[in-house]
A = this chain, B = another copy of it.
């Protein structure tokens, strides 16, 4: 039997990135797409409690069934696993291709990686793909053979419970290969742009730039990206800092 892939993203079901992902995966298996009906970038692992969620059939053909929802990427995964996969559970949960880099600490903010973490917490092998290019016309082409390879390898070999893959694709014409590496250290430097508001209450648009805190490092996802490699970071659901436990125990709280 062909494998079943559950596909989502945070740029919305019409984004070129998810359209491209669907095309590249179709030869490898059957696809169930469940993605936000509009863009939900920056939604992290947020879910929706205060309004009812939609679950709308968008299209259905042999090997490709597509749904959209008003929910977050996490809601989409929860809806799909609970309402759409009773007869057949996915072999793999895949999100992307995200328009924008999701390496370093962006894993904590990304809705695309939120869907991946959700799939992982539910016990499924899960992968997120992102490209370091926010434009709708990003060139996914050079990455496609690598995406197929990574998906096939995870299908064949699986992933341990509680670990997902965060895959980031450089915005280069030629990709040099794939590097398995660690998450780089960085942070955002925000800039709030003031804007007017009818009753004199100032409002602010959140903008920001990413700051690499390890410019010299050669072994993380930021350096892989800079060198023209696809980065693959195995990422944990368990965020415990185990080495700090004994230090904190000595505090005698």
Contact = CB atoms under 8 A, between A and B. Distances in A.
Interface of A: 41-49, 52-56, 71-72, 74-75, 78-79, 81-83, 105, 107-109, 111, 114, 117, 121-123, 146, 149-150, 153, 157, 160, 162-163, 178, 180-183, 185, 187-188, 190-192, 195, 197, 201-206, 232-242, 244-245, 248-249, 251, 253
A245 to B, nearest CB: 5
B149 A162 contact: no
A68 to B, nearest CB: 12
11 contacts: A42-B47, A43-B46, A52-B197, A52-B205, A83-B204, A105-B121, A123-B187, A153-B251, A182-B238, A185-B238, A232-B253
B53 A206 contact: yes
Contacts of A153: 251, 253
A54 B199 CA distance: 12
B42 A44 contact: no
A171 to B, nearest CB: 20
Contacts of A239: 107, 183, 235-236, 239
Contacts of A47: 42, 44, 109, 206
Contacts of A49: 41-42, 206
